[in-house]
Amino acid sequence: MAAPPSSSGIQELVAGCVRGEAASWEAFLARTQPVVARACRAAARPWGMTDPALVEEMVQETYTRLVSGRLLETFEPQHPDAIFGYLKLLASRIAHDTCKAAAAGKRGGKGRTVPLEDTASPTAGSGVEDDILLNQIEAGVREASSGKEVDRDLLVFQLYYRLGLTAAAIAAIPSLGLTVKGVESFLNRLTRQVREKFSGGGEREKAAHGD
């Protein structure tokens, strides 16, 4: 399917994202990333945490939360550009929570990011089994990724498996810093690790039962 024209209204793009249209997601990310990045930088500045790499992690976490929590599906705009204000608020809260946790960690405390809100739960008949499997795989991504790359890897996973973006479309997102080959390499590695994890679990279960 062809990508939406650049003049597409943001509400039309949001509607396309909710329908799961990969081209709409690609255009939505391109339109909203500058807004999200500015909000993260502004919220992190009072904490003295202006490292571009840290800000980029906040940006990626914002989109990861947006996708995994299905927040666009429940968003009800009050005016045509309301989504931009919503994203600013979401990004600011994530940046604040991230900085707060980091500051607590530096003081020797047990930093913990405060949940933003309860995410939408899948309803009966909406692919509950698929959601459970994807959630299990997401947990595997967190385990397999290094602390520096976990947010990026989770976002790549979400964009590819939940939203259906191609490797080329994902590589076209500048902030991820990945080539098409890099995206494909990550996905291949993830697939291999998941297969090993699930097959290994099955073998251990058989051994435990003496089969």
DSSP state of 123: P
Note the pLDDT tens digit of each residue in 169-197. Answer: 788 777 678 898 999 988 888 778 767 76
Give the mean model confidence (pLDDT) for residues 28-47. Answer: 92
- Answer yes or no: is pLDDT of 115 > 80: no
Query: Residue for token digits 């904490």?
Result: 47
pLDDT on residue 208: 47
112 versus 176: the higher-pLDDT residue is 176
CA distance to 60, 90, 103, 121, 177, per residue, from 70 (Å):
15, 13, 29, 9, 25
Give the mean model confidence (pLDDT) for residues 89-103. Answer: 88
Which among 5-9, 34-38, 175-179, 194-198 has the top mean pLDDT? 34-38
Q: Which of 34-43, 49-58, 126-135, 153-162 has the lowest mean pLDDT?
A: 126-135
- Answer yes or no: is pLDDT of 70 > 70: yes
Distance, CA of 94 to CA of 88 (rounded, Å): 10
Q: How confident is the model at residue 35 (pLDDT cuts 50, 70, 90)?
A: very high
> For residue 77, which phi and psi values (nearest 5 degrees)?
-70, 140
pLDDT on residue 88: 93
- Answer yes or no: is pLDDT of 4 > 60: no
Q: Is the Cβ–Cβ distance between 98 and 113 less than 8 Å?
A: yes
Among the four given CATH numbers 1.10.10, 3.10.620, 3.30.450, 3.30.530, the one describing domain 122-211: 1.10.10
Spell out the alpha helix ranges (H) of 45-112. 52-68, 71-74, 82-106
193 versus 81: the higher-pLDDT residue is 81
Distance, CA of 10 to CA of 70 (rounded, Å): 17
Domain ranges of the chain: 1-120, 122-211
